[in-house]
Structure 1
Amino acid sequence: MTKTDPLFRSPALNRHWPHRGGSFDALLQARPEELPFAPPAPGEVIARVEAVSICSSDIKIIRMGRDHPLFAGAAGPVDTVLGHEVCLRVEAVGAGQADRFRKGQRLALQPAMLVEGRRSIIGMDLPGGFAQMLRLGPEALADYVMEAPETVSAATVALLEPYGCVERAWSANVRRALKPGGRALVVSAPGADFDLSALPSWVTITAVGPRPGFLRGLKVTEAASLEGLAGPFDDILALGDLPAADLAQLCALLAVDGLLLQGRDGPSPGPVAIDPARVHYDRLAFLGTRQRDLATALAPEAQRFDTRPGGVALIHGAGGAMGRIHVHRLLQLADGPRTVIASSRKGPRLAAIEADFGPIARANGRKLVVADAENLATLVAEHAPGGLDDAVVVAPNPAAVAMAAGWLAPDGLLALFAGFPYGRLLDLDLAAVALSGKRLTGSTGCSLQDMEGVLARVVAGSLDLSANIAAVAGIDQLPRALKAVADGAVSGKIIIYPQRPDLPLAPVEDWGAADEAGLTG
Structure 2
Amino acid sequence: MIPTTQTAIQLVGPSQLARVDDKPVHRPGPTQILGKVSCVGLCFSDMKLLKQFDGHARKSPVLAHLGEEVLKEIPSYVPNDKPTVPGHEVVIEVIEVGNKVTSVQAGRKYLVQADWRDLKTAGSNGAFGYNFEGGLQQYVLLDERTTVAADGTNYLIPADEARSVSATALVEPWACVEQAFIHFERRNLSPGGTVLLVRGPGAEQANVDIDTSVSGKRLCLDLGQACTPPAGFTCIGLDAIANGSINDCLFAGADAALFESLVPKLATNAVTLIATHGQSFGRPVSTPVGRVHYGNLRFVGASGASFAAAQAKIPATGEVRKGDRVHVVGAAGPMGSMATIRLVSSGIDGIAVEASDMATDRLAVLRRKAEKVAQAKGVPCHLYNPKEEQAEGAPDYVMMMVPVGPLVAAAVTQTNPGGIINIFAGIAAEVHQDLDLDAYVTKGLYFIGTSGSTMEDMEAVLAKVNAGELDTNLSVGAVSGMAGAIEGLEAVRDGKVAGKILVYPELGDFPMTSLEDLVQQFPSIAPLLDDGDWTKAAEEELLRLVAQGV
Give TM-score, length-normalised by structure 1.
0.87
**2:50 paired with 1:46:** no
**2:445 paired with 1:438:** yes
**2:10 paired with 1:18:** yes
Partner of 1:188: 199
Aligned 8 A contact 2:33 2:101 in 1 = yes
Matches of 2:264 and 2:197, distance apart in 1 = 15
Matches of 1:288 and 1:415, distance apart in 2 = 17
Please give the per-residue CA displacement for 1:174-218, whole angstroms capped at 9, x wherever unaligned.
5333122222222123344433453244332221158788x41x2
**2:482 paired with 1:475:** yes
Deviation, 1:438, is 0.9
**2:255 paired with 1:246:** no
Deviation, 1:290, is 5.3
Aligned ranges 1:186-265 → 2 under 5 Å = 186-189=197-200, 190-209=203-222, 215-216=230-231, 218=232, 220-224=233-237, 226-265=238-277
Pick closer, same or farther for the CA change 1:117–1:398 going to 2, 3 Å: same
Counterpart among 310, 326, 343 of residue 330 in structure 1:
343
Partner of 2:321: 308
SS at match of 2:242: coil
Deviation, 1:254, is 1.0
Deviation, 1:477, is 1.5
Partner of 1:7: none
Pick closer, same or farther for the CA change 1:237–1:95 going to 2, 3 Å: same
Counterpart among 466, 491, 499 of residue 498 in structure 2:
491
Pick closer, same or farther for the CA change 1:173–1:79 going to 2, 3 Å: farther
Matches of 1:238 and 1:457, distance apart in 2 = 41
Partner of 1:35: 23
**2:97 paired with 1:93:** yes
Deviation, 1:430, is 4.2
Stretches of 4+ aligned residues off by more than 6 angstroms = 72-75, 210-213
Partner of 2:113: 110
Partner of 1:122: 128
Aligned 8 A contact 1:20 1:78 in 2 = yes
SS at match of 1:187: strand
Structure 2 residue ranges without an equivalent (≥5): 63-78, 516-531
Please give the per-residue CA displacement for 1:299-342, whole angstroms capped at 9, x wherever unaligned.
58744511122221111111210010110100100106632121
Structure 1 residue ranges without an equivalent (≥5): 5-11
Number of aligned residue pairs = 498
Matches of 2:310 and 2:8, distance apart in 1 = 50
Pick closer, same or farther for the CA change 1:37–1:231 going to 2, 3 Å: same
Partner of 1:341: 354
Deviation, 1:229, is 2.5
Pick closer, same or farther for the CA change 1:483–1:235 going to 2, 3 Å: closer
Please give the per-residue CA displacement for 1:118-156, whole angstroms capped at 9, x wherever unaligned.
311211221111111222232323333322211211001
Matches of 1:257 and 1:72, distance apart in 2 = 21
Aligned 8 A contact 1:171 1:305 in 2 = yes
Matches of 2:60 and 2:428, distance apart in 1 = 10
Pick closer, same or farther for the CA change 1:36–1:67 going to 2, 3 Å: closer
Pick closer, same or farther for the CA change 1:284–1:72 going to 2, 3 Å: farther
Aligned ranges 1:99-178 → 2 under 5 Å = 100-118=103-121, 119-137=125-143, 138-142=145-149, 143=153, 144-178=155-189
Partner of 2:408: 401
Partner of 2:72: none
Q: Which moved more, 1:100-109 or 1:170-179?
A: 170-179
Cα RMSD between the aligned structures? 2.8
Aligned 8 A contact 2:136 2:505 in 1 = yes
Deviation, 1:57, is 1.5
Matches of 2:184 and 2:388, distance apart in 1 = 32
Counterpart among 78, 81, 86 of residue 85 in structure 2:
81
Deviation, 1:403, is 2.1
Pick closer, same or farther for the CA change 1:71–1:167 going to 2, 3 Å: same
Give TM-score, length-normalised by structure 2.
0.83
Partner of 2:284: 271
SS at match of 1:208: strand
Aligned 8 A contact 1:185 1:233 in 2 = no
